[in-house]
Structure 1
Amino acid sequence: MGCFSAGYGRGLLAAVLLLQAVGAWAHAPGLSSLDVAVNLARLDVRVTFALQDIEAFAPMDSDLDAEVSDSEREAAKPGIARLLAGQLRISVDGADSAPSEPGQVSFDGQNNAHVELKYPAVPERQLLVQSKFLAQLPEGHQQYLTVRDAGGKALAEKMLTKQDDRLSVPVAAPADGRPAASRHTEFDTFGDFFKLGIEHILTGYDHLLFLLALLAVTHGFWPALKIITFFTLAHSLTLALAGLNWVDLPSSFVEPFIAATIIYVGVENLIRGEHPKGRHWLTFGFGLIHGFGFAGVLREMDISSGDTGILLPLVSFNLGIECGQIAVAAIVLPMIWWLNNQVETAERFLKICSIAVSLMGAYWLLERTVL
């Protein structure tokens, strides 16, 4: 009994330390968006960043009381506008252009800052857009750039990074009459968001922990497939609803609720043991909430606008999530099944994992509410 307790304690401690080590990375790297509209007489530019990505460069807490009041947010707007305008390069036909007036800043309910800038020049041959601010942000930050014509049609789209922070758009149409910038745009956009979906699920440890806690009670292929299928159907549904702006839940509710789902599944594993009934329906219900969490990525990039431009990113992003999810499941499920089918390890494995999962969920819940 003493050896069992010692082994049990060491296993639990190792699991908790491992989960705490990855807890700081429960979300994808920073995301932002840059939208350039080529109108008849000017360029209209809209830049969107999460406040936490820019507050180190444009501080808002002027009295240093660890709280940002409405008046402090308003006072910070000119500084935010100057910061982002100064870090954005717009070159029209080879000549750099400057905004014709100070940028207009607004905030939304998702803790994003939107800056609208107007440039007086209109390209006749070439438009170059460079987001120099990416060089100052942490490694892994991605910015979705869209260049549109006066009618709102996308001329070019690209995912910018610190290593590749610019896009050159030829404006003149070639002999075949098709705008040169629009060629292969759909394929490139699909690839960008497919990759983003894979990255998000692989770095979204809260979503993965929830799924693995659900799968920890399985002993074979079909029960696991049922759980994965119900999770996929649920989060795909709410991801689509949120991405199309048909249903919207604030992140202040979604993120703590996701942590609560992790706690619940961990505790249920402890109480109900290896064969809890209705696990697939529980998966579906909680999977709906996780879908809103996935949609937060598209919202951070300010592309959840409900127009036709959202459909391709939405589909490819979701496919990326599914592929990443399947890859992770394919790696861990054989180990779960092997442990669950060993009489001497099955009960201890489930208890250690479930306690660690519940503790990690509690940590995230506190982090997203009290802390």
Structure 2
Amino acid sequence: MHKTFSNLMVKLTYALILSSAVFAGSGGGVRAHEVMPTIADLSVSDGSAHLTLRINLEAFLAGIDLDTVVDTNNAENAGDYDSLRAQPAGQIAARAPELLDTWNKLPVLRADGQPAVLETVSITIPEDVNMSLPRVAQWELTAPVPPATNGIVVSWPAGAGALVVRQQGVEEPYTGYLEGGSQSPEIVLGGGGQQTAWQAFTTYIPVGFDHIVPKGLDHILFVLGLFFLSSHIRPLLWQVSAFTAAHTVTLALGAMGWVAVPASIVEPLIAASIVYVAVENIFTSRLSRWRPLVIFGFGLLHGLGFASVLGAFGLPQDQFIPALIGFNIGVEIGQLTVIAIIFLCVWQALRVARGQGAERMAKVLYLTLAAVALGLSLMPMPRLAQVLDAPVALFLIPGALIFGACFLSVQFRHTAEPYRRFVAVPASIGIALVGAYWFVERVFL
């Protein structure tokens, strides 16, 4: 009877985690509408400030909160965005003055503290862009400034997402990264405002971290796939070391422009790498001699994915190396954060499986955590959903399932390899299904 009940609970756990994986895959894997920062090139000559923007006008006109949304498909007004994206370029250009009026009220530019009113010089919007991809416009703006102007401050509206400001035409130019609702320091028109190595380093650490937590769900699942191979620290260290070394190489090469692989190739292969590590976890619990080499190869792919992000943000040429190192460290901190969180989730189950923990306390803990996670998943939390750029339940329900699986691992601790049977294998199946869904989506959909 005990064996029959045990098998039934295993199947139930599998079914729950698999259904959760499909739910997660349907909500978070699309990259075609990924929000990218606006790039602004600033120069001043002949009494005029010139601002050239590379911008997704449709996202702004749709009123999407770009500070919190990672993918326009997940925005509340995604339908408005899609409608605008389907319109001819001329119609979008005709609506740009609406946006410019709100910017001038801020204002976006101030010359020696005085507002500088921007006017449109030209808008170039490509027509031949696939409908599934964002359409990046080039918007040239100008504003009169007093001839004796010493410096300009750039303010960026709340909800406008990230802005990369690059000063042009001077020695030691300023290059900065602004979040929505923030402003630059005074950009001295004569130059000399370039970031120090330390400033560039510290600026790009959060950029790298943010690309993992919360925006890098595919990289998160890959790291979790590494974690669930074995409950021992040595296999994890070998895998993470190989992955880190590899993505550092291609991140540097890609950021320097020496290697460039289209996202249409890189993104499906990243999804395939997730499937591989997860499927292998199902069939083995030991680190094979060749798995670190395979992980190294997959790390090269993930590094190209990181490099594409840096390509969109742009690295300050004057402080290229410190910014690159800062971004990479941010990525590593993000990965270690993921590992630390999942380790804390399963720690008591591991201790009980090794005969080191109190079974009763562990069962009470996991039942409580599962109930809390399920309860919170039913509560509306719009602010947190905006930060996560996804329904909160998308994270809480899998968390509840992990806690439930850990409870079963403790409950049936006398079975063979309870942690692997109830936690590692079901979780790996869920990860594999999500990766498979993304692969199909990125290749065929």
Q: CA deviation at 1:125?
A: 2.6
Deviations 1:7-38 (A, max 9, x none): 22332234335545654345898331332332
Q: Secondary structure at the match of 1:217?
A: coil
Q: Call closer, same or farther: CA 1:75–1:149 in 2, change over 3 Å.
A: closer
Mapped to 2, the partners of 1:36 and 1:344 lie a distance apart of 59
Deviation at 1:49? 3.4
Q: 1:345 maps to what in 2?
A: 418
Q: Tell me the alpha carbon deviations over residues 217-242 of structure 1, each in whole angstroms, 9 at most, x when there is no partner.
A: 23422221111111001111111111
Indicate conservation of the 8 Å contact 1:244/1:304, yes or no: no
State the partner residue of 2:436: 362
Which region of structure 1 is more displaced relative to structure 2, 276-285 or 73-82? 73-82
1:284 aligns with one of 296, 301, 311: 296
**Residue number among 16, 19, 22 corresponding to 2:18 in the alignment:** 16
Q: CA deviation at 1:168?
A: 4.7
Cα distance in 1 for partners of 2:253, 2:328 equals 13
Q: Which has the higher strand share?
A: 1
Residue number in structure 1 paired with 2:330? 320
Q: Assess, with a 3 A threshold, how the Cα gap between structure 1 residues 351 and 218 changes in structure 2: closer, same or farther.
A: closer
User: Which residue of the partner structure matches residue 357 of structure 2?
Assistant: none
Q: Is the counterpart of residue 121 in structure 1 residue 144 in structure 2?
A: yes
> 1:255 corresponds to which residue?
267
- Greater CA deviation, 8-17 or 101-110? 101-110
Say if 2:315 and 2:323, in contact at 8 Å, map to a contact too: no
Q: Which residue of 2 aligns with 1:196?
A: 207
Deviations 1:336-366 (A, max 9, x none): 7928857441441332122111111122223
Count residues in correspondence. 350
2:342 match: secondary structure: helix
Q: Conserved in 1, the CA contact under 8 Å of 2:197 and 2:319?
A: no
Aligned to 1:36: 41
CA separation in 1, counterparts of 2:29 and 2:323?
22
Output one character per residue of 1:250-276: Cα deviation in whole Å (capped at 9) or x when no partner.
222222221111112222223345444
Q: For residues 116 and 233 of structure 1, do their structure 2 counterparts lie closer, same or farther at Cα, with a shift above 3 Å needed? A: same
CA distance in 2, matches of 1:270, 1:316: 36
TM-score, structure 2 normalization: 0.66
SS of the equivalent of 2:138 reads strand
User: What one-letter code is carried by the residue in structure 2 that aligns with 1:154?
Assistant: P
Report the CA distance between 1:243 and its aligned residue: 1.3
Q: Which structure 2 residues correspond to residues 77-156 of structure 1 after superposition, within 5 A?
A: 78-79=93-94, 82=97, 85-86=100-101, 88=103, 89-93=108-112, 94-99=114-119, 101-105=121-125, 111=134, 113-119=136-142, 121-122=144-145, 124-132=149-157, 134-135=158-159, 141-146=161-166, 148-151=167-170, 153-155=172-174
CA contact (8 A) 1:35 1:45 kept: yes
Q: Equivalent residues in 2 for 1:286-301 (5 A)?
A: 286-301=298-313
Q: Could you tell me which residue of structure 1 aligns to residue 9 of structure 2?
A: 7
Question: What is the match of residue 225 of structure 1?
Answer: 237
Q: Contact conserved, 1:197 with 1:319, CA < 8 A, in 2?
A: yes
Aligned pairs for 1:259-270 (under 5 A) are 259-270=271-282
Summarize the Cα distance change of 1:317–1:25 in structure 2 as closer, same or farther, 3 Å threshold. Answer: farther
C-alpha root-mean-square deviation of aligned residues, in Å?
A: 3.7
Q: 2:176 aligns with which of 137, 140, 157?
A: 157
Q: Is the contact between residue 129 and residue 167 of structure 1 (CA under 8 Å) also seen in structure 2?
A: yes
Contact 2:255 2:310 in 1 (8 A): yes
- TM-aligned CA distance change 1:314 to 1:81, over 3 Å: farther
Please give the per-residue CA displacement for 1:298-336, whole angstroms capped at 9, x wherever unaligned: 2332x158x445433322111101122123223434737
Scaled by the length of structure 1, the TM-score of the pair is 0.78
User: SS state of the match for residue 431, structure 2?
Assistant: helix
Does the Cα contact within 8 Å between 1:270 and 1:354 map onto a contact in 2? Answer: yes
**1:105 and 1:169, CA in 2 relative to 1: closer, same or farther beyond 3 A?**
farther
Q: Match for 1:47: what amino acid?
A: L
Give the drift of 1:292. Answer: 1.4
Q: Report if aligned partners of 2:200, 2:319 keep a CA contact under 8 Å in 1.
A: no
Q: C-alpha offsets along residues 59-82 of structure 1, whole Å, 9 cap, x if unaligned? A: 9x99x99995xxx65445624754
Rate the CA distance shift 1:51–1:7 in 2: closer, same or farther, 3 A: farther
Unaligned runs of 5+ in 2: 65-76, 355-412
Kept in 2: contact 1:269–1:276 (CA 8 A): no
In 1, Cα distance between the equivalents of 2:341 and 2:83?
47
Distance 1:193 1:26, change over 3 A: farther
**Contact 1:34-1:145 at 8 Å conserved across structures:** yes
